[in-house]
Amino acid sequence: MTVLLGLYALSYMLCSLLLAYLTYEPLKRYVHKWNEMKPIPGMPGAYPIIGNALQFKANAGDFFNQVIEGTNEFRHLPLAKVWLGPVPVVVLFHAETIEGVLSSSRHLDKSFSYSFLEPWLGTGLLTSTGDKWRSRRKMLTPTFHFSILLDFLEVMNEQAEVLVSKLQRHVGGPAFNCFSLITLCALDIICETAMGEKIYAQNNSESEYVRSVYKMSDIVSRRQRAPWLWPDWVYNLLGEGKEHQHCLRILHTFTKNVIKERAEHMTGVESDSEPDQGGRKRHAFLDMLLKTTDEDGNYLSHEDIQEEVDTFMFEGHDTTAASMNWALHLIGSHPEVQKKVHQELDEVFGSSDRHVTAEDLKKLRYLECVIKETLRIFPSVPLFARSICEDCHINGFKIPKGVNAVIIPYALHRDPRYFPEPEEFRPERFLPENSLGRHPYAFIPFSAGPRNCIGQRFAMMEEKVILASVLRRFKVLACQDREDLRLQGDLILRPESGIWIQLQRRSI
């Protein structure tokens, strides 16, 4: 018995020593950061280890309102501090402090919260770091050249036609929620342009793949807000973790099969694409990725390609869909702006119902201002984060290496120094003469600096085509006041109850 007790005591002591050894360095780093960041003003009530986690609202809308109220409270300060569990965060919402992070080639890594996207996206362009990110960005940049993007105009026009036919049914009728209609259109566009695969989301919104794309963003954002769900071994035991795995299987199986099929059909230079009705070859990003090589002449593996295709799918539909929905709400709320948009569209298209061309895109200058002002008021990505990769100073405050910097475009875009009366919808702010002298980091709907959004030209093109196609045919009346929208700032900025509008048919 004595020997047995002795063995138990020895085992306990060894386990305690092992635990102490394993936790010593992380604990030492944590205490160091806690002490280093004491001078930074921030959210009160942080406790060791759990930080401010218990103070955060669980509901997405309540959480986002809490974030915005915090930035309003600390607006007079250059930055604020929050502890998300044991993870230190500095919150930035002024152009001058944001520039120091985004313009730097040293702080290119995304924050730890992006790791929850890796089961879906792997380490593609959005989530990769270091040399892999630099190499991948260099390889992919040519595929987003404007001349290549023009090949996607027909896809955008065709899907716009489907959307218009759906909207026709609501002309003269009661108010309806247009949010899902616009989102399904954007999903059809990104699927065909990214993968060369038609999924007919606008006509089959209940497909497994469509529902899984919708679900994944919500699942990831809920996990990001809940530190107790961060450990994989905990998460995978819970119902939400199992739902996450189910969606992953559907999403990855679909893209794997598409990549395999496209690769098998690439037997020659011209056989990597399908002809459209006019006999031209229609390319997709996937086709270009299958032909892309690195500096050593090596082709991307199918796993590499899947990372980027999944990333395009994630980043390329929700963001543009949200922006177009917000634009319809704002245009429908401001008759004087809608009148100017209609005048420009009539000047460019007359009474024709032809497709939007590349030349038309250049002429839609006021519509572009409307889109930019929409992105100012309702940025599709209301907050994003970087990791501070080496000790630095921001406005006199020392920020230790490893701290997460959360950048909040929603608050930044409301800085009255650069946008007087910031809650007012004024597209004229973005006319060239009114943009002169504005701080280059005062408006960053697509991020900024070396790690800005590679797809911003694609997004602007798509939004112009869809909004022009809708507004050439309809007059929009918004049926919600701003205070009724109840914003939800998950990964994408959405209204809690959708966007409700009424439509009238236009005649010119």
Asked if 57 and 69 count as a contact pair (C-beta separation under 8 A), the reply is no
Asked if 410 and 444 count as a contact pair (C-beta separation under 8 A), the reply is no
- CA dist 492 and 372 (Å) reads 17
Asked if 36 and 400 count as a contact pair (C-beta separation under 8 A), the reply is yes
178 labeled part of a ligand binding site: no
Mode of pairing for the β-strands spanning 384-387 and 392-394: unpaired
Considering only CA atoms, which of 220, 179, 214 is closest in space to residue 199?
214
Considering only CA atoms, which of 414, 244, 219, 212 is closest in space to residue 317?
212
- CA dist 198 and 90 (Å) reads 43
Residue with tokens 């460019």, as numbered in its chain: 348
- CA dist 257 and 276 (Å) reads 22
- CA dist 92 and 78 (Å) reads 7
Q: How many CB atoms lie within 10 A of CB 63?
A: 17
Helical ranges in 280-334 per DSSP H: 285-291, 302-333
Considering only CA atoms, which of 174, 199, 171, 165 is closest in space to residue 184?
199
- CA dist 221 and 60 (Å) reads 9
In whole angstroms, how far apart are CA 245 and each of 102, 121, 216, 431?
33, 13, 10, 47
Considering only CA atoms, which of 298, 297, 303 is closest in space to residue 260?
303
- CA dist 403 and 393 (Å) reads 12
- CA dist 110 and 388 (Å) reads 9
Asked if 240 and 248 count as a contact pair (C-beta separation under 8 A), the reply is no
The CA-CA-CA angle for residues 422, 425, 427, to 5°, reads: 110
Asked if 142 and 453 count as a contact pair (C-beta separation under 8 A), the reply is no
Mode of pairing for the β-strands spanning 404-407 and 487-489: unpaired
Binding residues: 453
Binding residues for heme: 453
